[in-house]
A and B are shown apart, each in its own frame.
Chain A
Amino acid sequence: MKILTGNDLPSGDVIWWTGEGWSRHVDDAVEVGDEAQALIAREDAARRVNGAYVIEATRDGGSVRPAHIKERIRALGPTVRLDLSLKPADPAAGTWVI
Chain B
Amino acid sequence: MYQYDNYDQAMVDARVDEFRDQVKRRLAGELSEDHFRPLRLKNGLYLQLHAYMLRVAIPYGTLNSRQMRALGDIADKYDRGYGHFTTRQNIQYNWIKLDEAPDLLADLAAVEMHAIQTSGNCIRNTTADHFAGAAADELVDPRPYAELLRQWSTFHPEFDYLPRKFKVAIIGSETDRAAMKLHDIGIQLVKNDAGEIGCRFYVGGGMGRTPMIAPVIADFVPPLQMISYLEAALRVYNRYGRRDNKYKARIKILVHEIGADEYRRQVDAEFAHILTLGLEPPPAELERIKGYFANPGFEADLPDNVDLSDPDFALWVDQNVHAHKQPGYAIVTISLKPAGGIPGDASADQIRLMADLARDFALDELRVTHAQNIVLPHVKKADLYTVWQKLDAAGLANANLDLISDIIACPGLDYCSLANARSIPLAQKISERFADIGRQREIGELKLKISGCINACGHHHAGHIGILGVDRKGTENYQLLFGGSEAADTSLGTIIGPGFNEDGIVDAVEKATDVYLAQREDGERFLDTYRRIGVAPFKEAIYG
Q: How far is the CA of A11 from the CA of B100 in the complex (A)?
A: 9
* Chain B 419-475 residues near chain A, CB threshold 8 A: 419, 422, 424-425, 428, 471, 474-475
Q: Is the CB of B99 within 8 A of A14?
A: no
Q: How far is the CA of A50 from the CA of B347 in the complex (A)?
A: 30
Given contacts A47-B27, A67-B474, A69-B476, contact A12 B51 (CB under 8 A): yes
Q: Chain B 489-509, CB within 8 Å of chain A: the 1/0 string?
A: 000000000000000000000
Q: Which one of A28-36, A57-65, A74-82 contacts B?
A: A74-82
Min C-beta distance of B414 to chain A, whole Å:
4
Given contacts A12-B52, A13-B51, A14-B50, contact A80 B474 (CB under 8 A): no
Q: Does A68 contact B (CB under 8 A)?
A: yes
Q: Is the CB of A80 within 8 A of B476?
A: no
Q: Is the CB of A70 within 8 A of B27?
A: no
Q: Does B96 contact A (CB under 8 A)?
A: yes
Q: Does A84 contact B (CB under 8 A)?
A: yes
Q: How far is the CA of A27 from the CA of B98 in the complex (A)?
A: 26
Contact among B29, B47, B80 for A12, CB-based, below 8 A: B47
Q: Is the CB of A69 within 8 A of B27?
A: no
Query: Which label, helix, strand, loop or mixed, suits the secondary structure of the B interface?
Result: mixed
Q: Chain B 394-427, CB within 8 Å of chain A: the 1/0 string?
A: 0000000000000000000111010100101100
Q: Chain B 295-307, CB within 8 Å of chain A: the 1/0 string?
A: 0000000000000
Q: Is the CB of B475 within 8 A of A79?
A: no
Q: How far is the CA of A78 from the CA of B96 in the complex (A)?
A: 15
For chain B, the bracket of interface size reads: 20 to 34
Q: Is the CB of B98 within 8 A of A80?
A: no
Query: Which label, helix, strand, loop or mixed, suits the secondary structure of the A interface?
Result: loop
Binding site for B on A (CB under 8 A): 7, 9-14, 44-45, 47, 50-51, 67-70, 73-74, 77-81, 84, 98
Q: Chain B 47-64, CB within 8 Å of chain A: the 1/0 string?
A: 101111000000000000
Q: Is the CB of A69 within 8 A of B97?
A: no
Q: Which residues of A contact B474 (CB under 8 A)?
A: 67-69
- Give 27 A-B contacts (CB < 8 Å), ordered by A residue: A7-B47, A9-B98, A10-B27, A10-B99, A11-B97, A12-B95, A12-B96, A13-B50, A13-B51, A14-B49, A50-B47, A51-B33, A67-B474, A69-B413, A70-B413, A70-B417, A73-B413, A74-B49, A77-B50, A78-B94, A78-B414, A79-B422, A80-B425, A84-B80, A84-B95, A98-B475, A98-B476
Identify the closest chain B residue to A68 (Cβ). B474
Q: Chain B 25-59, CB within 8 Å of chain A: the 1/0 string?
A: 01101000100000000000001011110000000
9 closest Cβ contacts across the A-B interface? A12-B51, A12-B52, A78-B414, A10-B99, A80-B424, A11-B97, A74-B49, A80-B414, A10-B98
Identify the closest chain B residue to A80 (Cβ). B424
Q: How far is the CA of A73 from the CA of B452 in the complex (A)?
A: 14
Q: Which residues of A contact B374 (CB under 8 A)?
A: none
Task: Other than A70-B49, A73-B413, A78-B415, give 4 A-B pairs with Cβ distance below 8 A.
Answer: A7-B51, A12-B51, A74-B49, A84-B80
Identify the closest chain B residue to A79 (Cβ). B414
Min C-beta distance of B452 to chain A, whole Å:
11
